[in-house]
Amino acid sequence: MSKKPRKSKSTPKSPELQLGRAVEWPRFPDEAQIDSVPNPQTSTDYLVRFAVPEFTSICPVTGQPDFAHLVIDYVPGQRLLESKSLKLYVASFRNHGAFHEDCTVSIGRRLAAEIKPKWLRIGGYWYPRGGIPIDVFWQTGKLPKDVWAPDQGVPPYRGRG
């Protein structure tokens, strides 16, 4: 029995992808590369969910860290979002000064522009700043018919623990 992983015929190894090789962490969101791979199930509409429970950015006024739990749902078109590039992209916000609304919406817009999904939504569930939690939601158009989009599963703020 071979212990080598099976190679996908639909996703050839590409030198342009960050997957499978060491890359520098992007310092800022504009420097981050978003990678995608072919969707092997283009004839089927289905939902993909990414949860980012430890998102961090910087308050542009105070310089203090802000924390959020992001949930990104999308219905793929021709391309799938590659998860390592998403990890590097969201980590690039760690030193980025922006308000909650700007971070959440700009992530949603960039992902939608890069992978061109049939539908995408992002929920930014931000931990309190000044005692007030701020939740931000953005989506493209309407969910395709017959696709189940479950609740994002993040409760309203009550310590969110």
Active-site residue set: 59, 66
- CB burial of 119-134 (b: ≥16 within 10 Å; e: otherwise) equals bbbbbbbbbeeeeeeb
The pair phi, psi for residue 139, each rounded to 5°, is: -150, 160
Instruction: Say whether 60 sits in a helix, a strand or coil.
Output: coil
- Give me the sheet containing 48-58, strands edge to edge: 48-58, 65-75, 119-126, 135-139
Q: How far apart are CA 122 and CA 140, in angstroms?
A: 9
CA 142 to CA 127: how far, in whole Å? 28
